[in-house]
Copies of this chain bind each other. A is one copy, B any other.
Amino acid sequence: MSWDSEFEKAFNPRAVAFVGVSRNSVGGTYTFFPAANGFMVRMMERGYEGRVYPINPGQGEVAGLKVYPDLKSLPEAVDLVVVCVPAKAVPSVLEDSIAAGAKNIHIYTAGFEETGLQEGKRLAGEVREIVERGGLRVIGPNCMGLYVPGTKVSMWPEADSKGGHVAFVSQSGRLAQDYAEYAQHRGIGFSKSISFGNGYGIRECDFLEYLTGDPDTRVIGMYLEGLSDGQRFVKTVKGLNRVKPVVVWKSGLTDAGSQAARSHTGSMAGQEKVWNAFYRQTGAIPVASLEEMADAHLALLNLPPPKGRRVAHFGVGGGSSVASADIYARAGFAVPKLSEDTRNELRRFIAPAGTSVRNPLDISGVMRDTDTVKRTLEKVAADPVVDIIVIAQHWLMVWFTQGKVVPTLAEYLTEFVRENRYGKPLVAVTRNWTEQQEGRGWIMELDRALLAAGIPTYPTEERAASALSKYVGYYEFLDRG
C-alpha cells in the first residue's frame, strides 16, 4: 500500500461510525470496555462537532444517539469507521464498509497474526484480501488508531485536546497514549498521533510520506518494533529528516527486547548494528524511552539552529558547577572560559566573593536581583565564545529566600527568548524534588511559564545535556549535506 490522500479525511472527518458499541454501557473517560463506547463518548466529550453513529445489531439508543444495525443502514458514507467487534466479525464489517462506501477504517480489534495461532493467521489473510479487493484504507488491526487534537478526533483517555506541531507514529497503542499524556506535561502538543498496530493497511512509511508535506507538523516521533519494507523506510526517513527532524524509538534491538517484540506485534526486531547504520545514514535521532523522546522533541521544536557546541552554564555552587561541566563535556559540549571582555564587564557588577564568572557561572546570589540577571545574561549571550545557554538554578532556594523574584525572572527569560537578539538557544533545568506542596507547585508554575514561552525545561542536567546533544547533532548532520 502507498499513501492515499483520501485517508486525510479520517483526520478531520465529517462523520464517524463506531462499530461494536454496546447498548449496556455508555462508556466514560476511564471506562475502557467496551472499547467502542469509550472511544465514542470520549470523542463527543472532547467536543467533536461532526456526526457520530453507533453501530450495533440491536435497536435503541446509546448516549442519546440512535443505534444503527450496520454500516449499510447509515444515512451517509462516513469518513472514518472505528471497528471494535471481535476478530472473527471483522471481515464482515469490512465487507459492509465496501458496500457502504466508507473506506477509511481503524481496526481496534486484536486477535490476528500477533496471537501466533492458526485462526489468527487465517483471519489476517482474510482481512488483507478484503482490504486489497475493496481498496480500503485501513489502520490496524490491534491498535489505538488516531489522535488529532485539532479536530477532536481524540478517543484516547489520557491526553488533553491541546494541539501542537509534533506528529507521532507508533506501532504500540499503549505507548502512543502514554506519550500523548506525558508530552502534554512537558509542553508538547500534537498535530496528530497515529497508532497503527499490526499495520495490514497504511503503515509507517505511508504516514511519513504524508507528514513530509503536512503543514501542521514540524517534528516527527516514531515508536517502532519491526518494518514492512526496510529499504523504503531508509529512503523515506532520509528525505523527511532533511525537512523535519525524525526522532525514532526503535525497540526490540537487544535480544531480550527482540524476543518480547515477537509476542507483541509479531515483528522480527532488527539487529542493533543495522539500526546504527540506519541512524548514521538518515540522520534520524535515536531515543529509547518516552522521556528521551520528549526531551529531544522539546529542543527540536523550540530552539533556533545552533551555531556550535559551546555552552554557558548558570549553576549553583562550586561543586555543582564542576559536576555540570563534566556532564556537558561528556555529552560532547565545550564549556569554555568566557572571553576576557565579558568577565571584566561582569566583574563590574558581580562581587568576587563566592561567585565565579569564568563559566560555569556560579552567581546564584545574583539570581535574586532581576536587573543583575538581565545584565549578566545579556553580556553572556553577546559573548562570541558562547553558542548555547543553560540556566540551572536551585529554584526552590531562590523561591524560599526571594519568592517574588521567580515569576519576574520567568518573565524576563520569556522576553529574552522572544527577542532572541543573539539567536542563541536557551534551556532551563528545573529539578523539582520537594514533596512540600507549595514549593512543588511554585516550580511547576515556573516550568509551565518557561515551556509556554518556548524555553525547554529539563528535570536533570544529564537529560538537558543529552537532549541538547541530539538537537545539535541534527543540525550538524544537515550541515554535512
Q: How far, in whole Å, are A393 and B118 apart by their CA atoms in the complex?
A: 32
**Whose C-beta in chain B lies nearest to the C-beta of A257?**
B326
A337 near B259: Cβ-Cβ < 8 Å: yes
For chain A, give the interface size range.
Answer: 35 or more
List residues of chain B with CB within 8 A of the CB of A422: none
Q: Contacting chain B: which of A55-63, A230-238, A277-285, A312-320?
A: A312-320
CB contacts under 8 Å to B, within A443-462, are 444, 448, 460-462
B175 near A334: Cβ-Cβ < 8 Å: no
User: Does A110 lie at the interface of the complex (its beta carbon under 8 Å from any beta carbon of B)?
Assistant: yes
- How many copies of this chain are found per oligomer? 2
Q: Which of the residues B254, B319, B460 comes within 8 Å of A251, measured between beta carbons?
A: B319
User: Does A264 lie at the interface of the complex (its beta carbon under 8 Å from any beta carbon of B)?
Assistant: yes
Q: How far, in whole Å, are A400 and B397 apart by their CA atoms in the complex?
A: 34
Q: Which of the residues B181, B264, B317 comes within 8 Å of A319, measured between beta carbons?
A: B264
Q: Please encode chain A, from 314 to 353, with 1 for each CB lying within 8 Å of some chain B CB and 0 for all others.
A: 0011111111111111100111010000000000000011
User: Does A416 lie at the interface of the complex (its beta carbon under 8 Å from any beta carbon of B)?
Assistant: no
Q: How far, in whole Å, are A223 and B259 apart by their CA atoms in the complex?
A: 40
On A, residues with C-beta under 8 Å from B are 30, 32, 110-111, 115, 158, 170-175, 178, 181-182, 185, 223, 225, 249, 251-257, 259-261, 263-265, 269, 288-289, 291, 316-330, 333-335, 337, 352-354, 356, 358, 360, 394, 397, 400-401, 433-435, 444, 448, 460-462
Q: Chain B nearest CB: distance from A275 CB in Å?
A: 11
Given known contacts A32-B401, A259-B337, what 13 new A-B pairs fall within 8 Å (CB)?
A30-B401, A111-B353, A172-B322, A173-B317, A174-B319, A181-B434, A251-B322, A256-B329, A257-B326, A264-B318, A269-B322, A289-B460, A289-B462
**Whose C-beta in chain B lies nearest to the C-beta of A29?**
B400
B259 near A319: Cβ-Cβ < 8 Å: no
Q: How far, in whole Å, are A325 and B253 apart by their CA atoms in the complex?
A: 9
A326 near B251: Cβ-Cβ < 8 Å: yes
